[in-house]
Structure 1
Amino acid sequence: MGVEIRVEGLTKSFGSQVIWQDVSLTLPAGEVSVLLGPSGTGKSVFLKSLVGLLKPERGNIWIGDRNLPYLPEGQLYETRKLFGVLFQDGALFGSMNLFDNIAFPLREHTKKSESEIKRIVMEKMEMVGLLGAEKKLPGEISGGMKKRAGLARALVLDPEILLVDEPDSGLDPVRTAYLNQLIIDLNAQIDATFLIVTHDINTARTVPDNIGLLFRRELVMFGPREMLLSSEEPVVRQFLNARKQGPIGMSEEKDVSELEAEAKAGIDPGRLPPIPPQLLTSDGRIRKAQSPPGAWLRAHGIQPPPGSFIDELGRNWLEEWPRYVAAGNNHVGAPAGPSQSPPPGPQFSQGSKGGPPPRRH
């Protein structure tokens, strides 16, 4: 079962350069969260701070009742065992085969017998679809297989928190889609708390339960997926639409004169794209953290962009969800009451437009 992470007023600098400041958010236990942001906004630095590899100048990182930045070395070492980390390139040892790479944390941090290590390694390799590749070297496999091997290694100590840094880095869209599906399936199976750093808009729009956006050394927004995907915040709209018009520039942020010129020219920053249905597990189970489509929007009286919650087969999941649950897809991992009526609040249709912007959190 995952654990909650509470970040309060976190600030990180390198010399005189402030990377981000006063970042506060809560990663709910057992849920999948994504952190977005333009290049150079310190997303990977944030992951390293969460695991205690970098110490912030100010702020708290509460993991249960332990405040990570202020732990003595011994307690920090023990707390890190709660984490599994998938690095951008997999970070595999080139001279070791996949079995030994995945077994490495068990041999380093436990006193398990080789027979027990073999059982665990083979179990994790099966989870990520790598059975039969145990003897291959990292140089003999594809980028997607390296990612899956790195993920298996991150899982061998049964972490309660899994940090995933740019899982789509170096992968084509098809293999990124497979990896996204694997993340959703793993979350349903092990209930760990996931935090994914990514630039991939499709991943951010379809995978997580929560999304955050870093920009201008601050956390612009963090909250449920539907909150951010329906936001009228200019930087959110620009990032989700991948447009040049808006606060984000080539270096990171545009200066005042550029923004004023865009405003005078009346350039439309683009409508928010439709909100897609959230990715379901391969076996149809409903994850504990998964909410019915549109539940957050209804509860806050917000209309989604036209065309939202319609999948590639043309199914409208606002209508499909009750049938999906009634058909018996609420087995292992299902929330307490997914088949109950939607949360109170105004109803909406696919053709409706507009609606007030969500509150900042």
Structure 2
Amino acid sequence: MGVEVKVEGLTKSFGRQVIWSDVSLTLPAGEISVLLGPSGTGKSVFLKNLIGLLKPDRGSITIQGNDLTKLSERKLYEVRKLFGVLFQDGALFGSMNLYDNIAFPLREHTRKSESEVKRIVDDKMEMVGLAGTERKLPGEISGGMRKRAGLARALVLDPEIVLVDEPDSGLDPVRTAYINQLFVDLNQQIGATFLIVTHDVNTARTVPDNIGLLYRRHLAMFGPREMLLSSEEPVVRQFLNAQRQGPIGMSEEKDVGELEAERQAGYEMPPLPPIALQLLPTDGQVRAGQRPPGAWCQANGVTPPPGSFQDPPGVAGSAGNARHAQSSGWTKPAGRADDDTLALPRVEG
């Protein structure tokens, strides 16, 4: 099972350049979290701090009672075994075939026999849909297959925390959809805590249990996915709608003059897109971290964007979401208009 990761007051800079400061969040054990943010906001730097490849200026990272920022190299080496990491390009050794790439951590960090290594590698390759490709070299396969091979390697030591850096980088939307489903299925199978860094808005809208947004050298927000997906913060609306107009500029945030020019031009940001139903495991079962659709909005008195929690046209209703809503006894908020495009899902009986 996954473990909780608690980050408090984390600050990182390179020389005089502050990357982000006073970042605090908790990754709930066994749940999938996503970290969003414009390019250059230090999302990958945050992952490197989590596993101790970089040392923060101040703050703490607590896992199983250990503050990683204060551990000796020997102890940090042991705690790192809790992690599996999928890098942007898979980070495979080009001269090794897929089998040897995936077996590498087992041979490096354990004393398992080659028969045990083979059993584990075969199992992980089947888990990510790569059975039968053991002898192929990284240069002989597609980008999506390299990602999956990197994921299999990240899983061979049975990690309790899986960090994923830009899984959609270099992939088309169809392959991105496949790998998103794979993350959800793996989370269901192994129960690990996942943190996915991404720019892909569709991934953020459907995959995670929790979402965070890095912006202007700090963590703008972090919490249940409905909190961010229903937020009226300008930076959130701009990011989710992929618009030029708003506080995010080409390099960093826009200056006051640019924002004033947009205001005088009468530009109004489009409304937030509807909150999609959460992606379910392939077997249709309820996710470990799943909450009833609209539960956070209801509990916090927030009206979700119109059309939220509805299946897309031509898609059958989500039985898993319905079962989860019914088992929780969740009902429509009192006093709401009975409009299917606005109302949260209802539970009859």
TM > 0.5: yes
Aligned to 1:105: 105
After superposition, give the CA deviation of every residue in 1:113-144 in whole Å (9 maximum; x if it has no partner).
Answer: 00000000000000000000000000000000
Aligned to 2:289: 289
Letter in 2 for 1:111: R
Secondary structure at 1:92's aligned position in 2? coil
Aligned to 1:342: 330
Q: Which deviates more, 51-60 or 296-305?
A: 296-305
Unmatched tracts of structure 2, length 5 or more: 344-349
Q: CA deviation at 1:300?
A: 1.1
Where does 1:172-191 land on structure 2 (aligned, <5 Å)? 172-191=172-191
Letter in 1 for 2:276: P
Please point out which of 336, 342, 347 is paired with 1:352: 342
Measured at CA, do residues 102 and 322 of structure 1 come closer, stay the same or move farther in structure 2, by a change above 3 Å? closer
**Identical aligned pairs, as a percentage?**
73
- TM-score of the superposed pair, with normalisation by structure 1: 0.91
Letter in 1 for 2:293: P
Aligned to 1:168: 168
Note if contact 2:247-2:253 (Cα within 8 Å) is conserved in structure 1: yes
- TM-score of the superposed pair, with normalisation by structure 2: 0.94
Note if contact 2:293-2:321 (Cα within 8 Å) is conserved in structure 1: no
- Distance in 2 (CA, whole Å) between partners of 1:65 and 1:79 is 11
The number of aligned residues is: 341
Secondary structure at 1:81's aligned position in 2? helix
* Counterpart check, 1:159 vs 2:159: yes
After superposition, give the CA deviation of every residue in 1:252-272 in whole Å (9 maximum; x if it has no partner).
Answer: 110011111112222111110
* Counterpart check, 1:32 vs 2:32: yes
Letter in 1 for 2:340: Q
Where does 1:1-361 land on structure 2 (aligned, <5 Å)? 1-314=1-314, 324-325=322-323, 339-342=327-330, 345-346=333-334, 348=336, 349-352=339-342
- Distance in 2 (CA, whole Å) between partners of 1:323 and 1:190 is 21
- Distance in 1 (CA, whole Å) between partners of 2:286 and 2:155 is 22
Letter in 1 for 2:127: M
After superposition, give the CA deviation of every residue in 1:75-113 in whole Å (9 maximum; x if it has no partner).
Answer: 100000000000000000000000000000000000000
Note if contact 1:85-1:164 (Cα within 8 Å) is conserved in structure 2: yes
Q: Which deviates more, 285-294 or 337-346?
A: 337-346
Note if contact 2:292-2:328 (Cα within 8 Å) is conserved in structure 1: no
Secondary structure at 1:38's aligned position in 2? coil
- Distance in 1 (CA, whole Å) between partners of 2:113 and 2:326 is 43
Measured at CA, do residues 84 and 16 of structure 1 come closer, stay the same or move farther in structure 2, by a change above 3 Å? same
Secondary structure at 1:339's aligned position in 2? helix
Q: CA deviation at 1:350?
A: 3.4
Unmatched tracts of structure 1, length 5 or more: 331-336, 354-361
